[in-house]
Amino acid sequence: MAEEKPELESSPTIEDTVPTEKFDVVYSCLRCSTNVSNSELSRLPEIKCICSFRVFTKVRPPVVKSIKAI
């Protein structure tokens, strides 16, 4: 008779239960309007566009927030 070992169920860790929110910021080149994410810029040794321009603007989301006046 072979004894069967009850398999231990892996208990969920904190990383599994809490969803991690990752905000990827998108930047736009002022010269050529190429959209580049923050993660792509961090991989490069220097912050520069493909057109060799170094000035970026942050692309804002199209959602407009409305706040009620007091």
Q: What is the pLDDT of residues 27-56, one digit of tens each?
A: 999 999 999 998 888 888 888 998 989 999
User: CB neighbours of 37 closer than 8 A, spacing ≥ 6?
Assistant: 24, 25, 26, 27
The pLDDT value recorded for residue 27 is 93
Give the Cα separation of 69 and 34 in Å (integer).
38
Look up the pTM and report it.
Answer: 0.56
pLDDT at residue 3 greater than cutoff 70: no
pLDDT of residue 31: 94
Q: What is the pLDDT of residue 16?
A: 55
